[in-house]
A = this chain, B = another copy of it.
Amino acid sequence: MLSALSSKELAVVLVSGGMDSCVTAAIANLQYEMAFLHLNYGQRTEQRELKAFNVIADYYKVKHRLVVDVHHLKQIGGSGLTDASIDIPRADLHRKEIPSSYVPFRNANILSIAVSWGEVIGAKKIFIGAVEEDSSGYPDCRKEFYTAFNDVIKLGTKAETHLEIETPIIHLKKSEIIKKGIELNVPFNLTWSCYQREDIACGECDSCALRLRGFQQAGVEDPIPYLK
């Protein structure tokens, strides 16, 4: 705690490899020494996102890195959405409302892992790049959810632990996130958003479309190449 470097407090930053979490990291980096947490879901582009996580961590010279397999989220999602032996009330309604990739209460699972790790390494903050506007109505992307979760952290951790969730981009639009990122020199070229491909972004999936529209609205060119 004597050197200038170590006097910075630690913050856990949830980094998926996409642009929202990268801008969130750039914001956290202004004030904290960062510990990067990444979760593997068994999603289609798992390896590409993990690669983006690591090159972004290298860019910010992050020493503390934790990669966790949360395949139980897939297992749970799968058991409800695909296993006919399980009795799901309003099953058809569920399938209409929720993309098959979505697992209810997912962000609470993610935050719980982040708090466990944060308490072990003595972090003061947990940064998450949740965005309310682009949340497709998922309840666990709203500001009130994070406020309530902070109460649970206070009650569920040791008295000497002071850990709080920060959601610095929760009220921003995609184009505002991009502008904020440019202001902070975010390496957008290192981020990965495409849900479909791992070599060149498809430019056609929801995630690519949202990203491209954001750059267009911000009046800036996206530095990554697209197939179309």
A121: which of B88, B112, B153 is its contact (CB, 8 Å)? B88
A169 interface hit (Cβ, 8 Å): no
A104: which of B76, B151, B158 is its contact (CB, 8 Å)? B158
Task: State A116–B140 Cα separation when bound (angstroms).
Answer: 12
Query: Is the CB–CB distance between B80 and A120 below 8 Å?
Result: yes
Contacts of A157 in B (CB 8 A): 104-105, 139-140
- Cβ proximity bits A76-114 to B, threshold 8 Å, 1 near / 0 not: 110111000111111000000100000111111101110
- Cβ proximity bits A191-206 to B, threshold 8 Å, 1 near / 0 not: 0000000000000000
User: Closest Cβ of chain B: how far from A148's Cβ, in Å?
Assistant: 5
Contacts of A73 in B (CB 8 A): 116
Task: State A139–B160 Cα separation when bound (angstroms).
Answer: 11
For A123, give the chain B residue with the smallest CB separation: B89
A152 interface hit (Cβ, 8 Å): yes
Given A72-B113, A116-B76: A108 touches B161 (CB 8 Å cut-off) = no
Query: Is the CB–CB distance between B156 and A107 below 8 Å?
Result: yes
- Summarize A's interface: helix, strand, loop or mixed: helix
Interface magnitude class on chain A: 35 or more
Given A142-B155, A155-B148, A158-B139: A109 touches B104 (CB 8 Å cut-off) = no
A41 interface hit (Cβ, 8 Å): no
A7 interface hit (Cβ, 8 Å): no
A80: which of B68, B121, B158 is its contact (CB, 8 Å)? B121
A216 interface hit (Cβ, 8 Å): no
Contacts of A108 in B (CB 8 A): 108, 112, 115-116, 152, 156
User: Closest Cβ of chain B: how far from A33's Cβ, in Å?
Assistant: 9
User: Closest Cβ of chain B: how far from A32's Cβ, in Å?
Assistant: 13
Query: Is the CB–CB distance between B81 and A120 below 8 Å?
Result: yes
A112: which of B64, B80, B109 is its contact (CB, 8 Å)? B109
A215 interface hit (Cβ, 8 Å): no
Given A87-B122, A104-B120: A113 touches B76 (CB 8 Å cut-off) = yes
7 nearest CB pairs, A to B:
A80-B120, A104-B119, A89-B122, A140-B156, A109-B112, A108-B112, A68-B72
